[in-house]
Amino acid sequence: MTKFDEQLTQELFEKKLVTKNQLREIEEYRSLNIFSLNVELKLLLSLAVLMFTSGIGILIYDNIDSIGHIALLTVLLIVICGCFYYCFKNSQGFQKTETKFESPFLEYLVLAANILTCIFIGYLQFQHEAFGTHYGLATLVPTIVSFFCAYYFDNRSVLTIAVTGLAAYIGLSVTPQEIFNDTNNFYANQSLSYSALMLGVLLILWTVYSFKIKLKTHFTLVYLTFALHIISIACISNMVRDELIWLLFAVILAGSSYYFYKVSFQLKAISLYVFMIIYAYIGINIFLFRIFENADFDDFWELLIFILPIYFIGSIVMFIKLIKNFNKEIAK
């Protein structure tokens, strides 16, 4: 046992939350130094799924001329059907509450089947134009399949694919290097900003409704994480525009930050809290820059050089303090 564990155990005994016999049993159990391999095994399963699906994609790409399209699609369909047959046969069926599977293998087999389905539909559309010129259907169909699998098999990883597909369907495609470039979809096409805000709000409203009807409430963090990133990136991208509308997006970002501040404490989700702080900090700096962009700093630029390092150091100290306060509050 570590010193920290010993101290906590002793505090429980002093508060009479555990008996002397229970204290001794706890100490004996911890002295065995038993540890769980659950996380390591799940990581290996995740890597196995990614390597398998990537291998399928590489196989298709390298042998598309020698094997043939029909043969590849047939083999892919057989593998997908086999995966889904096993999943449906061994699953507990749809439940509104969180479902615990006896074997983690089933969870990752669902993920593999879903990724292969996306590959199959994409390949079918690219090579044979199964949906004609309705290219959005090639995104919407696997998205619907992913949502069904996520809720039926209670799979967060598949839900992530589903929400990503939904965002792609309305035209959102953001990579890290594009977020603040002129090539950013939000910057090049302002209508996408409104679509992004609507999608973010809809995701939030869906989590509220899910809590009301008690439908897979443990999916909330996934939905809110997407909503936070989508809304914040859309607002920040539009705050650097030349139009006066940047002020409206600044107000929306402020409201969004306040909402996710409150929700992060309710869900005890430090990931939401950290990203909320980062986006809010970026927004505040852009707001200050836009306010003072027409000011003449020639007379006191030396003062700015002195203040800026203090400002950034103070920001780091404040960030650390906020994280500590958050951990202290959720520990109560």
For 1-48, the pLDDT digits (tens) are 455 456 666 676 677 666 777 767 777 766 666 656 566 666 676 777
**Cα 94 from Cα 106, distance rounded (Å):** 14
Residues 121 and 54 grouped into a single domain: yes
Q: Are residues 29 and 43 in the same domain?
A: no
Instruction: Identify whether residues 120 and 179 lie together within a single domain.
Output: no
State how far the Cα of 248 lies from the Cα of 220, in Å rounded to an integer.
27
Tell me, yes or no, whether 22 and 53 share the same domain: no
In a domain, 163, yes or no: no
**Quick one: what percent of the chain has pLDDT higher than 90?**
26
Residue in 99, 206, 223 with CA at minimum distance from that of residue 151: 99
pLDDT at position 36: 60
Q: What is the 3-state secondary structure (H, E, C) of the chain?
A: CCHHHHHHHHHHHHCCCCCHHHHHHHHHHHHCCCCCCHHHHHHHHHHHHHHHHHHHHHHHHHHHHHHCHHHHHHHHHHHHHHHHHHHHHHCCCCCCCCCCCCCHHHHHHHHHHHHHHHHHHHHHHHHHCCCCCCHHHHHHHHHHHHHHHHHHHCCHHHHHHHHHHHHHHCCCCCCHHHCCCCCCHHHHCHHHHHHHHHHHHHHHHHHHHHHHHCCCHHHHHHHHHHHHHHHHHHHHHHHCCCCCCHHHHHHHHHHHHHHHHHHHHHHCCHHHHHHHHHHHHHHHHHHHHHHHCCCCCCCCHHHHHHHHHHHHHHHHHHHHHHHHHHHHHHCC
Asked if 66 and 177 sit in the same domain, the reply is: no
- Exposure of 328 by Cβ count < 10 A (0-12 exposed, 13-18 middle, 19+ buried)? exposed
- Kindly report the pTM of this predicted structure: 0.79
Q: Which residue has the tokens 């539009």?
A: 238
Mean pLDDT of 266-282: 93
Q: Which of 124, 154, 184 is the endpoint of a domain?
A: 154
At 2 the pLDDT is 54
**Residue of 96, 95, 146 whose CA lies nearest to 121:** 146
Q: Is residue 150 over pLDDT 60?
A: yes
Binned at pLDDT 50, 70 and 90, residue 282 comes out as very high
The span from the CA of 15 to the CA of 19, in Å, is: 10
Mean pLDDT of the region 130-136: 71
Q: Domain check: are 192 and 270 in the same one?
A: yes
Instruction: Tell me whether residue 223 is in a domain.
Output: yes
- The answer to whether position 183 is within a domain reads yes
Other C-beta atoms closer than 10 Å to the C-beta of 193 total: 23
Check whether 284 has a pLDDT greater than 90. yes
**CA 316/CA 325 separation, integer angstroms:** 14
pLDDT of 59 > 80? The answer is no
Residues 175 and 252 in one domain: yes
- Residue carrying structure tokens 């593998």: 79
pLDDT digits (tens, 9 = 90+) for 213-269: 989 999 999 999 999 999 999 899 888 876 678 888 999 999 999 999 999 999 989
Would 313 be classed as within a structural domain?
no
Contact (CB, 8 A) for 180 and 237: yes
Q: Which domain holds residue 2?
A: 1-34
How many whole angstroms separate alpha carbon 117 and alpha carbon 148? 13
* pLDDT at residue 184 is higher than 60: no
Q: Is the pLDDT of residue 277 over 60?
A: yes
Number of domains in the chain: 3
User: Per the domain annotation, does 161 fall within a domain?
Assistant: no
Q: Is the pLDDT of residue 180 over 80?
A: no
**30 and 66 belong to one structural domain:** no
| 89, part of any domain | yes
In this structure, are 138 and 91 located in the same domain? yes
203 and 124 in a common domain: no
Are 254 and 284 contacting, i.e. CB atoms less than 8 angstroms apart? no
The residue type of 98 is E
Domain shared by 97 and 176, yes or no: no
- 200, part of any domain: yes
Please indicate, yes or no, if residue 317 is contained in any of the structural domains: no
